[in-house]
Structure 1
Amino acid sequence: MDRLIQANGQPHYGIFPVAPGLINYRDFDFRSPMGRKLGALAKWRRFHQFQYFGLISDELIGGCALANLSLLGVGFVYLFHPASGRMIERQFKLPLGFGSQFSQTPDQGVCELRSGGNLLRLENSAVPKEKRLLVELDDGTRIDVCFSEAQPAFQPLCINTPAGVNGWVYAQKVAGVRCRGHVRSALGDFDLTQIDAFAHHDWSAGYMRPETHWNWACLSGQAGEQRVGLNLSCGVNETSFTENCFWLDGELLKVDTVRFAFDRDQPLQPWLINSHDGQVALRFEGRGLHKERLNVGLLASNFKQIFGQFSGVLRPIGRPELRINNLWGFVEDQYAKW
């Protein structure tokens, strides 16, 4: 599929074997809830896009995100050292996104944010099929990490679902891949190959609900003889299709709807995450937290990303169950008005 939006102005919907070449949102026949045709300004205002790169190992946890919210460009990065409990984190907000750029080609292009002496950059390359994160901060922190979807072969989840009465959300997810590179920071210097680090990645864009909430869970690591990745969500992509899945040695296995049970006021307390079809039964124990709050009228966000450890079981249909024992990963609880 060369383009997500068809000649009639409507998106392709479903789960795709490969990513669309272009998220051509300007060609979308965007209408008001009452059916009035909306113009270029409304298309720009309501289109939102974000990209996230996560880093997971027993010795170092990291996350970096960039978001284009039309009125605001947002970025954050953090590193957490499990052994000491120490953490580095930075947040950036750019009015109207000045100082940022975003590509609408999921498998090719650059998304980046520059603020003073700080750079957050996410590069997607089709040949070779790689994703790269480069972070350079004015305190000397440097993160340079990449992973391949070709060696060994990996099947990303590529999905587009309707959202609300007049929107849609395209999402492309990867988890359970080993990564390579280096991190230099006040927490220490790390060779990611030597510490057996894994990565996960999220590229999402579309006309999301103007007021929304979601929970999300992701893990990446080695369970027994298998590389395992997990992506579960509740609140965004569930109209007709879901983004819930896990990967075993790069093979994508779909999962039914999921339930997140947790205490919103105490997000570091245990979370229970179960799928309706019984393929997922996990307990998550939080070890640290990155959070942001924003309330400026037209835009609001209450965001918590908790990193910690998963235990439990995955039960792929027709295969032996897989025990998960203290694998590191993430959960999220987010409210957004945009």
Structure 2
Amino acid sequence: MSSYQPLLTKAPAQLIQANGQPAFGLFDGSVPDFNLQTFVYQNLMDKKANTLARYFHYKQFQFICVTGSDWVLAVAIADIRYANSGFAYLYRFDTNQTVSKGLLLPGALGCKMSDSPSAGEAKQQFAAYKVTIKTSPSDWQLNINTNELKANLTIEKSSQMPLALCAPTGYNGFTYTEKSNALKVSGSIELQGHPLDLTLALAGYDFSAGFMRRQTSWRWASISAMVDGKAFGLNMAAGVNETGLCENALWFDGHIQHLSPASFVFDRKDNTKPWQVSSLCGEVQLEFTPLYCRQEKVNIGLLASNFRQYVGLYTGFVVLQNGSTLQLNKVKGLAEDHYAKW
């Protein structure tokens, strides 16, 4: 089995460099300042892009997942310029029941985003639905206030190195992605007025932004769970950051291990069939069994989205950098299959 040890670059203080272009690479930490106003964005004919193109071509989303002993909470806010969308749902493994709420609003109605994964605030508020994500160098804070679901959580991000990278996207764009899983979480969650136990809970976050392809698709796998008595996290994806870099990593007992490119084999027409999730160099060999699917299809001309996010169980193994094998047996996690025209 081949080892995979990519070179890391020191995270720059600012994403956009003196030449007006992003710093590309796999970083050793978070990039605090995107300074997007200095980005020299050109069209497909190498001319300066106009103001409207510069505004509408920039996309951003933030996502948080918290996995408890018998439940999973997933929350997202996305700004796709023509519209903004978001959701918050909680799935219970013990009862196979879900409480879910989603929004799709025109333009920036009810939505505010942050340009920094470590210094800002994103929020989505409309009627009885309110979600806020605050980021800092030390933690992410999540507040949810809906009729059935309420949460006030703090997710520790400074305890381990995140997966952070910036890669060229398409002909003239870039995508910055920052993720970290298996993080400690504290605070409170109430489901229909009843508190949930956070004692064994672990969390993960995702901050992704940039001038992405007009038509984008990706497959994704994510885990935050205790394995062999230690915190284990996994992030694997295919479809966005694959121009010389890939956004794949695991965390075990607070240490990050970068992984080779990912492969996803599944039946898009059957939501109940298992997925096969593996890595190019063989460090990851997993089977994912879906239990619940949150899905939506939107096709309104300028915009289209075919979105399926699954909650389920992972079984298989990963090989750690020291050569030892970590077995996973029905470990809770997420998987996703998404097409977007934005």
What residue in structure 1 maps to residue 185 of structure 2?
179
What residue in structure 2 maps to residue 161 of structure 1?
167
Distance 2:188 2:223 in 1: 21
| 1:81/1:187 contact within 8 Å kept | no
What residue in structure 1 maps to residue 63 of structure 2?
52
| 1:57/1:328 contact within 8 Å kept | no
Distance 1:96 1:288 in 2: 30
- Measured against aligned partners, the alpha-carbon deviations of 1:253-285 in whole angstroms (never above 9, x if no partner) come to 111111100000113310001111010000101
| 1:25/1:206 contact within 8 Å kept | no
- Which secondary structure does the structure 1 equivalent of 2:240 belong to? coil
- Measured against aligned partners, the alpha-carbon deviations of 1:42-96 in whole angstroms (never above 9, x if no partner) come to 1110000000000112311110000011111111110111111111111112211
Q: Which one-letter code corresponds to 2:22 in the other structure?
A: P
| 2:99/2:148 contact within 8 Å kept | no
What residue in structure 1 maps to residue 111 of structure 2?
100
47-56 or 27-36, which deviates more: 27-36
Distance 2:164 2:141 in 1: 19
1:56-205 matches, within 5 Å, as 56-126=67-137, 129-137=138-146, 139-150=147-158, 153-186=159-192, 188-193=194-199, 196-205=200-209
**Which residue among 35, 41, 47 is the counterpart of 2:46?**
35
Distance 2:234 2:333 in 1: 9
| 1:26/1:40 contact within 8 Å kept | no
- Which secondary structure does the structure 2 equivalent of 1:231 belong to? strand
| 2:264/2:276 contact within 8 Å kept | yes
C-alpha change, 1:225 and 1:82, in structure 2 (3 Å) is closer
- Measured against aligned partners, the alpha-carbon deviations of 1:160-198 in whole angstroms (never above 9, x if no partner) come to 0011111110000011123122211238421312xx111
Distance 1:40 1:20 in 2: 25
| 2:139/2:157 contact within 8 Å kept | yes
| 2:117/2:136 contact within 8 Å kept | no
**Which residue among 282, 285, 306 is the counterpart of 2:289?**
285
What residue in structure 1 maps to residue 300 of structure 2?
296
**Which residue among 223, 229, 250 is the counterpart of 2:233?**
229
- Which secondary structure does the structure 2 equivalent of 1:64 belong to? strand
**Which residue among 228, 232, 241 is the counterpart of 2:245?**
241
Q: Does 1:15 align with 2:26?
A: yes
Identity value in percent:
31
| 2:68/2:197 contact within 8 Å kept | no
| 2:224/2:333 contact within 8 Å kept | yes
- Measured against aligned partners, the alpha-carbon deviations of 1:309-337 in whole angstroms (never above 9, x if no partner) come to 11110012333111111110100000000
Cα RMSD (Å): 1.3
Runs of 4+ in 1 over 6 A off after TM superposition: none
| 1:219/1:230 contact within 8 Å kept | yes
Q: Which runs of 5+ in 1 are unaligned?
A: none
Distance 2:153 2:80 in 1: 26
- Measured against aligned partners, the alpha-carbon deviations of 1:184-220 in whole angstroms (never above 9, x if no partner) come to 1238421312xx1111100000011100110000001
Q: Which one-letter code corresponds to 1:157 in the other structure?
A: L
What residue in structure 2 maps to residue 316 of structure 1?
320
| 2:272/2:291 contact within 8 Å kept | yes
| 2:266/2:276 contact within 8 Å kept | yes
Distance 1:83 1:165 in 2: 47
Distance 1:227 1:140 in 2: 29
Q: Which one-letter code corresponds to 1:52 in the other structure?
A: F
- Which secondary structure does the structure 2 equivalent of 1:191 belong to? coil
Q: Which one-letter code corresponds to 1:72 in the other structure?
A: A
